[in-house]
Amino acid sequence: MRTLSCPEGAMTLGVNFRAFTDNLQSHEVTPTMEKYGIDNVQPDQWYPASLLLAALNDLANNPNVTSNLVAIGIGVGTIVPMPSNLRNPTLEQVLRAWNGIYQGIHQGGDVGTIAVEKVNERHFIITFTDIYPDDFSYGIIYGYARRFLPLGTHFVVAYDEEIAPRDHGGQEGYTVIHIEWDK
C-alpha cells in the first residue's frame, strides 16, 4: 500500500472512524485505533483526516491488511449517512451522489474526488483520486451494493484489469473499480 497523506488541515467526520471499530475485522483493527486515540469518536464531530490516515498507514503493516481495509470499507458503505434528498435510494443514485457525499464528510483541503461513469443500467466504473486506500474504496462499493441493491441481487466488484490500482504499483495517480449486477 502506498503511504497515505492529505493536505494539512483536512478534516473528516467521525462517522468515518466508527466503521473501524464496527466491522467484521474489528478485533484486528481496534488496537490500532486505540493506539492513535481514535477509538471513541463522535460520528457528527470533525477530526483531522491525517490521524485516520496515520492509523491506516499503520494497519498496512498488518498481514491481513487487505481483509481489514475491505471490512472497514464495507462498514463505511453500511453506515455513511445519505443526503436528505435521497430517500430509499437505488445503488445508481448513491453512486452518482458519491462524490458529493465524500466531499460532505471532509473539509479543510483538497481530498481528491470520486468520479462515476455509467456504462449501462447495471455496470458503473468508479475512478478514485481520493486520500484513502484502494481496498477501503473497494469495500465501500461492496457495502453500498449490499445496502442499496435488492436483497439477493448478485453483484461483482472488481479492479479494472488494464489499470493497476495506486496501492498495487499503479503509476496513473488514480484507481478504477467496476461494479456490475444482475437484474
d(CA 181, CA 37): 39
**Model pLDDT for residues 3-34, shown as the tens digit of each residue:** 999 999 999 988 877 777 665 566 777 788 88
**Model pLDDT for residues 81-130, shown as the tens digit of each residue:** 888 888 899 999 999 999 999 999 999 999 999 999 999 999 999 999 99
Q: Which residues constitute the domain of residue 43?
A: 11-181
In a domain, 123, yes or no: yes
Q: What is the mean pLDDT of residues 160-180?
A: 94
In a domain, 2, yes or no: no
What does the DSSP 8-state code read for residue 178?
Answer: E
What pTM, to 2 d.p., does this model score? Answer: 0.92
What CATH number does residue 54 fall under? 3.90.1520.10
In a domain, 3, yes or no: no
Number of folded domains that form the chain: 1
d(CA 176, CA 126): 6
Is the Cα dihedral 155, 166, 136, 67 positive or negative? positive
In a domain, 70, yes or no: yes
In a domain, 56, yes or no: yes
